[in-house]
């Protein structure tokens, strides 16, 4: 679940670490990320290509899907997971210094895009039950309604879309 890693509290005197997720704390961190990096629904948000940027991208996705768009916690959880997977691929496999996150909504659909400067295409690999890596695109394929890659003159955009019900 998004936010678990960011809710760590250390007990005094070096004893065990306790992880707690609280919506108020996570909302505050997400709002801070929105202020620092920008709103991915208004323009592409550039993020440094570092592992810790996955947490920032998850927070941005969470606040947009749950609070701005008012979608369900189940949709939010799936989007946060898939954003994490696409960001992880961009950080691990592209050699980029920066990647971009963009979130779009239109009637009945949401679309999440991660843009990077590499033209190397991601590959959907067969996944075995005991595999410890390589599950990212498998999850994107299973949890989204559709996904793909758009090649750009300098790089690519990897995206997924999910159907939503408009109220």
Torsion angle of the four alpha carbons 29, 32, 36, 41, in this order, in degrees rounded to the nearest 10: 90
For residue 167, what pLDDT is reported?
Answer: 63
Within-domain flag for 67 = yes
Q: How far is CA 34 from CA 43, 98, 112, in A?
A: 12, 17, 16
Confidence at residue 133, expressed as pLDDT on a 0 to 100 scale: 60
Residue 4 lies in a domain: no
Predicted local confidence at residue 123, as pLDDT: 80
- DSSP of 99-159: EEEEEEEETTEEEEEEEES--PPP------TT-SS--HHHHHHHHSSEEEEEEETTEEEEE
Is residue 31 within a helix (H) or strand (E), and if so which, with residue range?
helix 23-37
Residue 116 and residue 155 in contact, taking contact as beta carbons nearer than 8 Å:
yes
State how many domains the chain has.
Answer: 1
Structural domain of 137? 23-163
Coil/strand/helix, residue 7 = helix
Classify residue 41: in a domain, yes or no. Answer: yes
3 state DSSP class of 18: strand
Cα atoms in the 13 Å half-sphere on the side-chain side of 144 = 26
Residue 127 is predicted with a pLDDT of 72
Would you say residue 121 lies in a domain? Answer: yes
Query: Has this prediction a pTM greater than 0.85?
Result: no
Q: What's the CATH code of the domain at 61?
A: 3.30.565.10
Question: Is residue 87 in some structural domain?
Answer: yes
Q: State the pLDDT at residue 81.
A: 95
Confidence at residue 82, expressed as pLDDT on a 0 to 100 scale: 97
Q: Which DSSP symbol is given to 12?
A: G
Quick check: is 1 in a domain? no
Per-residue pLDDT 10s for the chain (167 aa) are 333 333 333 334 443 433 343 455 567 888 899 899 999 999 999 999 999 999 999 999 999 999 999 999 999 999 999 999 999 999 998 888 999 999 999 999 999 999 999 999 888 877 766 655 667 788 899 999 999 999 999 999 999 999 998 76
Residue 6 lies in a domain: no
pLDDT at residue 24, as a whole number? 53
Q: In whole angstroms, what is the distance from residue 119 CA to residue 98 CA?
A: 14
């Amino acid at each position: 679940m998004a936010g678990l890693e960011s809710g760590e509290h250390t007990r005094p005197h070096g004893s065990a670490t306790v992880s707690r997720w609280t919506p108020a704390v996570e909302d505050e961190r997400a709002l801070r990320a929105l202020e620092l990096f920008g709103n991915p629904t208004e323009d592409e948000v550039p993020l440094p290509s570092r592992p810790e940027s996955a947490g920032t991208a998850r927070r941005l996705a969470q606040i947009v899907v749950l609070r701005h768009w008012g979608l369900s916690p189940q949709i939010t959880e799936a989007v946060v997971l898939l954003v994490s997977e696409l960001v992880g691929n961009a950080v691990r496999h592209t050699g980029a210094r920066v990647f971009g996150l963009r979130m779009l909504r239109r009637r009945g659909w949401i679309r999440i895009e991660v843009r990077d400067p590499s033209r190397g295409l991601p590959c959907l690999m067969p996944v075995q039950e005991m595999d410890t890596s390589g599950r990212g695109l498998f999850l994107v394929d299973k949890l989204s309604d559709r996904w793909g890659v758009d090649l750009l003159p300098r790089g690519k955009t990897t995206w997924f879309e999910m159907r939503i019900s408009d109220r």
